[in-house]
Amino acid sequence: MLTPESQSRRDFLKLSALAGIGGISAASTAEAKPDPAQLTHLTADTIGKMRPRPAGNKPVWDLNTRPIGKVRIGVIGLNRGSAHVKSGSLLPFAEVVAVCDILDDRAQAQAEIVFKNTGKRPAIYSGDENVWEKMVDRDDIDVVYVATPWEWHKPMAVRAMSLGKHAFVEVNCGVTVDECWELVDASEKYQRHCPILENACYGEDELFVLNLVRQGFFGDLKHAECAYIHDQRHSGTYTFLDKQREWRRNYATFMHGNVYPTHGLGTVSQYLGMGRGDAFKYAVSVSSPEFGLSQLREKTKPNRDRSQDQKFVCGDMNTTIIKTELGRTIVVQHDNTSPRPYTRGNMLSGSQATFCGYLNRLAIDEDNKHPILDPKEKRNSHSWTYEGDKLTKFMQANAHPLIKKAGTDAKKVGGHGGMDHLMNYRFLDCIRQGITPDLTVYDAASWSCLMDLSDRSVRDGSLPIAYPDFTRGGWKDLKPLPLVS
């Protein structure tokens, strides 16, 4: 059964074609404010098609760059970006040289924090939506952090890379499959890194699972379940009372699938070696009815807010199933507007063990002879072998090397329990050393594009949608990066 495309969707497809949107646009003049509803959304038969690598471009999956004594950074978007400013101003091998936000008070406040932490004042760029271009033009910046609304990510990252900077981009990196290809092409053209700032990959639990995966503890990997389930109705993210925050809610008026896939998908992709030994093949997606935003609007009665006439088409709970080239399966869920405790799922199933997050549990097969296990221990795979205090001890004893090295410092700095700082420490340290950060532009593109693919599948009555291969076949020979070996 096919669901008919909405009229508005067809209208913006037409508009996109007329406007000829697409291709790398490293703007030399001021960018027009991007309208995500006007971006090119591809049809089911073209969305997964391999695109030839433009002549002269080279892969960046193992790109080495010149080592740098002090990594100079500029941060655009200073709500979420404040976490990156904090890290950058506390790491001895980094320096925040510039901060940028439309809102001057935010920029001033972040500059003050840098001054408090370092005794140096960064340059401030504020006042309008194109002032970031001036910051990116500077010749004393190595890394540009992009932490603005999603529609700005691609233009900001592409321009930064075209001017020789590495672009660290918040989740989601691109809104559409087209935008994701543009990020890959720009990174390969300008030979700059463009990692996704997926902090969930640096959680203590996630790194523990990854550590065990790389030691072969789980045996043959077959299935993973992940999610971003976070009741955000009262957090300000979806508030109807602040015009500045309405951009995120607006996506629910024209996207029907998973609008925030990477927190869950990122970590399990690391476990499964997606893009390095396996690749996403196709996705099918289904969404529940929408109640959350409509009821929140009704409850908060946003007088004079233009959202009063908006229709929210994005179902509250989206469930997507991905099939991989090696035949493995991944369930990805999203729900940000239901009364339910937070979870990223974090479940991994292999032939020798199964880990389940929130609350953490580990089942170990009777025949698992891994050397980290006590050979005398009696096990029964019908029940969780380790949970509670027993599992906590086991997790501490088998913590990931990165947690052992920098986990305590990261917790002191904080930011989502320390994972923000751990990620920034690791990414900036890679740039300092001139090596490839753990998450690459191929991860950024393949995790972010599920937003577009799931939307397509939901509108097409849950038809399977072919997954684009941003590595252009490279996944077959690539090995996991050293951090996780």
The residues binding ligand NAD (CB under 6 A) are: 76-80, 100-103, 106, 129, 132, 147-150, 152, 170-171, 197, 199, 244-245, 416
Name which of 253 and 398 has its Cβ closer to ligand NAD: 253
**Cβ of residue 248: shortest distance to ligand NAD, in angstroms?**
7
**Cβ of residue 256: shortest distance to ligand NAD, in angstroms?**
19
Helix, strand, or coil (residue 185) = helix
H or E stretch at 413: helix 401-413
In order of 175, 344, 357, 453, the CA distances from 317 in angstroms are 19, 14, 19, 16
Q: For helices 262-272 and 441-448, what crossing angle results, to 10°?
A: 130
| Structural tokens at position 402 | 């990165």
Helix, strand, or coil (residue 358) = coil
Can you tell me which residue has the tokens 């099939």?
Answer: 323
**Cβ of residue 272: shortest distance to ligand NAD, in angstroms?**
21
**Cβ of residue 265: shortest distance to ligand NAD, in angstroms?**
13
Residue 9 CB partners (closer than 8 Å, separation 6+): 41, 254, 459
Name which of 76 and 268 has its Cβ closer to ligand NAD: 76
Sort residue 414 into left (φ over 0), alpha (ψ -120 to 50) or beta. Answer: left
Strands 221-229 and 347-350, sheet pairing: antiparallel
**Cβ of residue 359: shortest distance to ligand NAD, in angstroms?**
21
**Cβ of residue 46: shortest distance to ligand NAD, in angstroms?**
27
Name which of 386 and 427 has its Cβ closer to ligand NAD: 427
**Cβ of residue 12: shortest distance to ligand NAD, in angstroms?**
21
**SS3 assignment for 301-318:** CCCCCHHHHCCCCCCCCE
How many Cα neighbours within 13 Å face the side chain of 440?
A: 26
- Which residue pairs from 154-158 have beta carbons closer than 8 angstroms and sit at least 24 positions apart in sequence? 154/34, 154/179, 154/182, 154/183, 155/25, 155/27, 155/31, 155/34, 156/76, 156/132, 157/183, 157/186, 157/194, 158/24, 158/25, 158/26, 158/182, 158/183, 158/186
* 274 DSSP assignment: B
Q: CA 71, CA 438: separation in Å to the nearest integer?
A: 17
Q: What is the DSSP code string of 44-101?
A: TTTTT---PPPTT----TT------SSEEEEEE-TTTHHHHHHHHHHSTTEEEEEEEE
**Cβ of residue 266: shortest distance to ligand NAD, in angstroms?**
10
* 26 DSSP assignment: -
**Cβ of residue 80: shortest distance to ligand NAD, in angstroms?**
3
**Cβ of residue 246: shortest distance to ligand NAD, in angstroms?**
9
Name which of 21 and 103 has its Cβ closer to ligand NAD: 103
H or E stretch at 284: strand 280-287
